[in-house]
Amino acid sequence: MSLQINDRMLFPQGRRKAFTLSYDDGITQDRRLIAMLDKYGVKATFNLNPGLFGQHGTVAAGKKEVPHIKVTAEEAAQLYAGHEVAAHGQYHSCMVGMDSVRCVEEILESRKGLEKLLGRPVTGFAYAFGAYDQTTLAAMAACGISYGRTITSTHKFEIPGNFLTWDPTCHHNDETIFDLAEEFLSDGFYFSLLSPAKLFYIWGHSYEFDQCDNWDHMEKLVKMVAGRDDVWYATNGEIQAYTEAYRRLIYSADSAVAYNPSAIPVYLGGTFTKEFIMVPPGGTARLVPPIDM
């Protein structure tokens, strides 16, 4: 016998699937990517280096050399409207091995530059080169960063336990990406101790589509995942904020009632039932009765 309490996190409107994207560097190829995402109604997070706005260069990294031109500050303010802007460090510096003061400088200056540009708080981050150490993590927390994305592929759909070490599902050029997409979209049984909801998280750089001549690969993927009522299309920051609201819920001692002290409605259900409830902001709700397994 095992009594399963239906207090697991579901996504808004009781959805069990969420899709998010994260793209680095703030480059001119983002224009084409954003046009594609907007066409299909998909949101993304774009990670920028305000200390490098307007810089011109190229990138090869073992592949075809292509332009790597940073958008200007003036363009960035308009280009990324409708998506999330997060920090990527002031100068895209690797912070592994840095002392705490220099880490704070790299993180905080990028926050301040983007906030001045956008007129709103910026608390998301993607690590340059995906690299961090314990000093970096301490600096991130000290600078008020709410999440930090790595480049370590999990090939899973788990919600991170620690958002400062947020591993994505995979890179957009991962050879298994369409198999993962099919698994994500499936309504088949999905078991996780934390939540029956699946999070499909893809990352990359838009210049890589030029390097690999595979813009059609990305459009095929986005078209495959987009336009579904059972998927929440969210930015990285929206997912982190929603999960934080879930984690702030307060439960009665008998696990019958949940109180939501946040400003975000939170949806709860269970692995073995399709029923769900919404806990309103500042209010309470009675959970779906537990299931005897």
Residues 6 or more apart from 197 whose CB is under 8 A from it? 8, 9, 10, 11, 15, 16, 17, 18, 159
CATH number at residue 119: 3.20.20.370
- The answer to whether residue 105 sits within a structural domain is yes
Question: Where do we find the tokens 């697991």?
Answer: 8
Residue 100 belongs to what domain range? 16-245
- The answer to whether residue 280 sits within a structural domain is no
pLDDT at 1: 62
- The answer to whether residue 114 sits within a structural domain is yes
pTM confidence score: 0.97
Whole-angstrom distance, CA of residue 238 vs CA of residue 9: 14
Asked if 24 and 126 count as a contact pair (C-beta separation under 8 A), the reply is: yes
- The answer to whether residue 3 sits within a structural domain is no
In the DSSP assignment, the letter for residue 47 is: E
Q: What does the pLDDT average to over 206-233? A: 98
- State yes or no: pLDDT of 246 exceeds 70: yes
Number of compact structural domains in the chain:
1
- The answer to whether residue 260 sits within a structural domain is no
- State yes or no: pLDDT of 17 exceeds 90: yes
Residue 120 corresponds to which amino acid?
R
Give the confidence band of 292 by pLDDT, cuts at 50, 70, 90.
confident
- The answer to whether residue 1 sits within a structural domain is no
- CA-based nearest residue to 269, from 255, 242, 288: 288
102, 103, 106, 110 alpha-carbon torsion, rounded to 10°: -140
Whole-angstrom distance, CA of residue 20 vs CA of residue 201: 5
pLDDT at 270: 93
- State yes or no: pLDDT of 93 exceeds 70: yes
- The answer to whether residue 229 sits within a structural domain is yes
- State yes or no: pLDDT of 166 exceeds 90: yes
Give the confidence band of 189 by pLDDT, cuts at 50, 70, 90.
confident
Distance from the Cα of residue 18 to its chain's centroid:
10
- The answer to whether residue 257 sits within a structural domain is no
